[in-house]
Amino acid sequence: MDRPMREVLYIAAKAPRVGFAKTRLGEAVGQAQAVALYAAFLRDLAARFADAPFPVGWYVTPPDAWSEIAPLVHVDGQVDG
């Protein structure tokens, strides 16, 4: 029996860690400021897709980073990483 394919938009995200995300920007503006900006980008991206007519999921790196990313991006109805 064929099952219908579930369409999900997956967004890739790095852990918002100093020295891991936005490192080149961090060289110019400071690592902590670059990470703060990246965290804001993640929040904005999650908000933009909060009312999407399809599920949104998150692929995170490194694999243990979900606990850092979830508070920034979790919206009811989205697929957890």
Beta bridge partners of 13: 60
pLDDT exceeding 70 applies to what percent of the chain? 85
Distance of CA 58 to the CA centre of its chain: 6
pTM assigned to the model: 0.81
Residue 80 located in a structural domain: no
Distance of CA 33 to the CA centre of its chain: 18
Residue 79 located in a structural domain: no
pLDDT value at position 6?
Answer: 76
Tokens of 43: 């929040």
* Residue span of the structural domain in which 32 resides: 9-73
CB distance 27 to 73 below 8 Å? no
The Cα 10–Cα 76 span in angstroms is: 15
pLDDT value at position 74?
Answer: 83
Residue 61 located in a structural domain: yes
Which residues of the chain fall below pLDDT 70? 1-5, 75-81
Give how many domains the chain has, as a whole number.
1
